[in-house]
Amino acid sequence: MKIDFKKAIILSFKYSTSLRKLPYYFLFQIFTMILMFFPLLNLTDACYSSRIFENPVPDPQMVDFIVESFGYFFLSIVLVLILSSILTPTFIFNYTQYRNKKDDTLKHSLIHAKPYFLTVFGAFITMAFLINIIGGILSMIVQVLGTIVSFMMTLAFIFVIQDIVIRKSSISNSLSSSYKCTTKNFTAIVTMYLVTTIFSIIITLFFGIPLIFVLSHSMAPLFGMLGAGMSYSALLTTFASTIRSDIELYLVSIITLLLGSSISKLFSMAFITETYLQLRAKK
């Protein structure tokens, strides 16, 4: 079935760069980074300090510390998932209002999407299990097969959240509906996936330029040390020292990258929703 991709790209780009939408998703991205960064840093530090993978009999106190750190990290993942379950249906419904030139305030969309938060949360967990767990098990058996299956399942369930929000479907019905829609319009779905992937890569590279320059500056002294045969601990110490001295540049470059990530994710969400709506209209 033919999709008007030109219209979808233009509408999605305008939506993703709208100053009425972008700042809210950008703040969510920053909050997510903060929420995930410190527990992850704490967990990494706990594993490094305990050297748990090197010691046959690790210190019980360090094991407790690692378990506690992992608990905080897992909690941060759950919190991000809960927030995503609130924002994703909100922005999907908001886009449907935006394209139809109706009341597209986020407050109005949040109220409308409220009944679907729990269903979307369950759908995220279900899809994570189907795509990552089953795909991971198959990858352990035959790596290429697992990768292919995970990719095909990603395409098959790409409209699940849209179906929940727009058609008020249950998780099982949305999984089935998305699968049928993908199988009937496979070429269009692959094209849609390629467009979102290419757009994401271009935006990430563009907004990642400052971080690339800062990293290059931090790593430059290490090349001379490698030639001098310095130890890995000395290299890491020098790299950490360089990062601390350029911490302001790192913060600015990371925030810039998060801005690009926000545009990319809003575009993908809008583009997938637009494709879904066109497919439903032509059904």
Residue identified by tokens 């929940």 is 164
Residue identified by tokens 């909100």 is 90
- pLDDT higher than threshold 60 for residue 226: no
CA gap 21, 119 in Å, rounded:
24
Query: End-to-end CA distance of the chain, in Å?
Result: 9
Q: What is the amino acid identity at position 169?
A: S
Greatest mean pLDDT among 131-140, 219-228, 262-271: 262-271
CA gap 93, 108 in Å, rounded:
9
CA gap 74, 77 in Å, rounded:
5
Separation of CA 20 from chain center: 21
Model confidence at 53, pLDDT cuts 50, 70, 90, reads very low
pLDDT confidence of residue 66: 66
- Mean pLDDT over residues 16-20, rounded? 94
CA gap 143, 239 in Å, rounded:
35
Residue of 97, 263, 100 whose CA lies nearest to 196: 263
Residue 133 DSSP one-character state = I
pLDDT in tens, 58-90: 556 556 666 676 777 788 889 999 999 999 999
- pLDDT higher than threshold 90 for residue 49: no
- Mean pLDDT over residues 251-271, rounded? 94
pLDDT confidence of residue 196: 95
- pLDDT higher than threshold 50 for residue 244: yes
Please check whether residue 95 is in contact with residue 15, taking contact to mean a CB–CB distance below 8 angstroms. yes
Inter-helix orientation angle 160-167/247-281, to 10° = 60
pTM of the full predicted structure?
0.84
Query: How many other CB atoms are there within 10 angstroms of residue 274's CB atom?
Result: 25
CA gap 165, 103 in Å, rounded:
17
pLDDT confidence of residue 2: 78
- pLDDT higher than threshold 80 for residue 272: yes
Model confidence at 138, pLDDT cuts 50, 70, 90, reads confident
Domain ranges in the chain are 5-281
- pLDDT higher than threshold 50 for residue 210: yes
pLDDT in tens, 82-119: 999 999 999 999 999 999 999 889 999 999 999 999 99
Residue of 211, 213, 212, 220 whose CA lies nearest to 239: 220
Mean pLDDT of all residues belonging to the chain? 83
